Structure 1
Amino acid sequence: MNSANLFRSLICGVTLVAILPAAAAAATEMKIDFSTEKVGAEPTSFVATVGNWAIAKDGDNVVLAVEGSTWSRNQPTAGIADKARALYGERYAEFLDNVKSYAYYPLAVAKDVEDFREGEISFRFKGISGRIDQGAGIAFNLKPNGDYLILRANCLEDNLVLFKYERGNRSAVKWIRNTPTPSKQWHDLRLVVQGKNVKGYLDGKLYLEHTLSEPVSGRVGVWSKADSVVYFDDFRVETAKTQ
């Protein structure tokens, strides 16, 4: 198959586009707009592992919503063992061992991205309510043991933060203040990964740059915090072509 070949598949609202050049791994793009999902049900394109996630409507638009208004600490989602097994197979127990450690942070994992290493991840988000938080984040580098990285915006705090989670403990890697993010408005969050270098964009503006200690490799997803009620739409992953 040469570089002119192009294929598309549409499954449950997920559009996959891949261009396959000779002598190189494929560059791929995945887009999820939730338009074919069932309102009121859990998403089919994501595995809801922590918190309450469901398909909702924002006017005429179908979106993914995290519903934190009934949040209670240390409550993973129903059927978490089966969901973890679907994501990580025989290593699912490692994930389960740590999931309660960060149950303060709702997390939904994209089903069709098994190992993101380089490229871009983005989505639109809208903070609806939450007195403690209105957080929206891109989770990446998600390992079978539950460790991961997160690029997070917050409509209550107007900041953009790169966090890391290791063995259930959260710590800030880089903190950028004065990033206007008003509630009840749609915003764009974008992460760019090139080798060890990460960049964070909010509403098209580059705010955050950082060099990690090692390259990224793992699953990806959407993230929130505590009592946040946030809408998500137009989730997109573009993986870089590797030689």
Structure 2
Amino acid sequence: MRKHIFWVLMVAFAGPVFAAEKTFDLSEMPVNKAPAGFHSLLKGSGKPGDWKVIMDDVPLAFPSLSTNAPNVAKKSVVAQLSEDMTDEHFPLLVLGDETYGDFTLTTRFKIVSGILEQMGGIAFRMQDVKNYYVLRASAVDHNVRFYEVVNGEIGTLMGPKVPIAKGEWHELSVECKGNQIRCSFDGKEVIPTVTDNTFSAGKIALWTKSDSVSYFTDIRIAYTPHERFLQSLVRETMEKFPRLQGIDVVALSGKSSGPKVVASNNDKAIGQPGDKNDAEVINKGVMTYRKDKELVYVTLPLRDRNGDPAAGVRVVMKSFPGQTEENAIVRAMPVVKQMQERVPAVNDLME
């Protein structure tokens, strides 16, 4: 079976240039089942959202030139079907495990029903269920609003009054570049560009409120792939110490019995297994040393923000006549110190 998510290299893009695009092919997913690879979450109280793939009539992206041809077609959509009338009830459907920094997301959506609320929207740069941005539309209040959620508290809502018809398909789009956020509804930018530094990257989710029944389809994300912290740390350290022969960061994996390389200046090394000495560095915070005819290898612990060993940094250097373990460690320590200084600002080394 083909995968449900397609990756496309972008050659040109209207507006900011992104390196890749992801689209979600709902047609490959079983009808009346939860969409594969997505994760249902709930902010607030009440029952979890009831997210399923269903079929619905969706207007064609390009209407037929023939007056006799229909302008709608049956299409797979993601539907939030729960009608829980709890007020502080926000079902979320996270679009996979990918973390996005700079991106443009576009989705079509339809607000179908709701007694208390009639809303549909997007949560983005999502850290967890209590920290993210929201762009949403309401067919009850006829408005589009942007706001942030920090530690579960909803911030100031901003956005205009906009006629939003229930039962009709609309389009929401959000573009994030650095700390700049642009929000559009039906192809028009409806909120002045927002400048905010609260969240720089995170996951993306579909969003509804209370008893809103809403559908989503044609979900597309054009984005710059997010570089993991440890990989960027290795790259920056190699630039600062150009005489090094290499840096590998080794960490324990919950899915295996031993350590593996999780970041390296050599892409082919990533994912390769470590050895028992690497495990000693991570588990006990010790240092290890070995050498061959041309190179020396010193592995030192990299500690998390709490001071506990979280990974091992293997520093690879050229050997020289008279090279000893002691002076090799002295050479390697400034490298790891430079890396260690960056760690306290990071919540999760493996992100």
TM category (shorter chain) comes to 0.7 to 0.9
Q: Equivalent residue for 1:34?
A: 26
Query: Offset of 1:45 from its aligned partner?
Result: 3.5
Residue 62 (structure 2) pairs with residue 62 (structure 1): no
Residue 96 (structure 2) pairs with residue 105 (structure 1): no
**Which residue of the other structure, out of 8, 12, 16, is the alignment partner of 2:7?**
16
Matched letter for residue 64 of structure 1: V
- Are the aligned partners of 1:159 and 1:175 in contact in 2 as well (CA < 8 Å)? no
Identity across aligned pairs (percent)? Answer: 26
Q: Deviations over 1:163-222 (max 9, x none)?
A: 2112222223x4222212111110000001111111110000111121113452111110
Alignment partners' CA distance in 2, 1:241 and 1:145: 23
Q: 1:197-212 residue pairs with structure 2 within 5 A?
A: 197-208=180-191, 209-212=193-196
**Relative contact order, higher structure (CA 8 A, sep 6+):** 1
Alignment partners' CA distance in 1, 2:198 and 2:153: 19
Q: Whose strand proportion is higher, 1 or 2?
A: 1
**Which residue of the other structure, out of 149, 152, 170, is the alignment partner of 1:165?**
149
Query: Offset of 1:73 from its aligned partner?
Result: 4.0
Alignment partners' CA distance in 2, 1:16 and 1:112: 15
Q: Equivalent residue for 1:239?
A: 223
- Are the aligned partners of 1:68 and 1:130 in contact in 2 as well (CA < 8 Å)? no
Matched letter for residue 34 of structure 2: E
Matched letter for residue 67 of structure 1: L
- Are the aligned partners of 1:195 and 1:215 in contact in 2 as well (CA < 8 Å)? no
Matched letter for residue 17 of structure 1: V
SS in 1 for 2:120: strand
**Which residue of the other structure, out of 176, 185, 195, is the alignment partner of 2:159?**
176
Alignment partners' CA distance in 1, 2:148 and 2:85: 22
Alignment partners' CA distance in 2, 1:33 and 1:204: 22
Which is higher, the Rg of structure 1 or of structure 2? 2
- Are the aligned partners of 1:127 and 1:229 in contact in 2 as well (CA < 8 Å)? yes
Q: Equivalent residue for 1:91?
A: none
* Shift in CA distance, 19/58, structure 1 to aligned 2, threshold 3 Å: closer
Matched letter for residue 197 of structure 2: S
SS in 1 for 2:33: coil
Residue 179 (structure 2) pairs with residue 188 (structure 1): no
Alignment partners' CA distance in 2, 1:150 and 1:176: 12
- Are the aligned partners of 1:35 and 1:62 in contact in 2 as well (CA < 8 Å)? yes
Matched letter for residue 58 of structure 1: D
- Are the aligned partners of 1:30 and 1:236 in contact in 2 as well (CA < 8 Å)? yes
Return the TM-score normalized by structure 1: 0.74
* Shift in CA distance, 19/205, structure 1 to aligned 2, threshold 3 Å: closer
Q: 1:9-158 residue pairs with structure 2 within 5 A?
A: 10-12=2-4, 14-18=5-9, 27-50=19-42, 51-59=49-57, 60-69=74-83, 71=84, 73=86, 104-113=89-98, 115-144=99-128, 146-158=130-142
Alignment partners' CA distance in 1, 2:85 and 2:211: 9
Alignment partners' CA distance in 2, 1:166 and 1:215: 10
The runs of at least 4 aligned residues of structure 1 exceeding 3 Å deviation read 240-243
SS in 2 for 1:35: helix
Query: Offset of 1:155 from its aligned partner?
Result: 1.7
Alignment partners' CA distance in 2, 1:242 and 1:35: 27
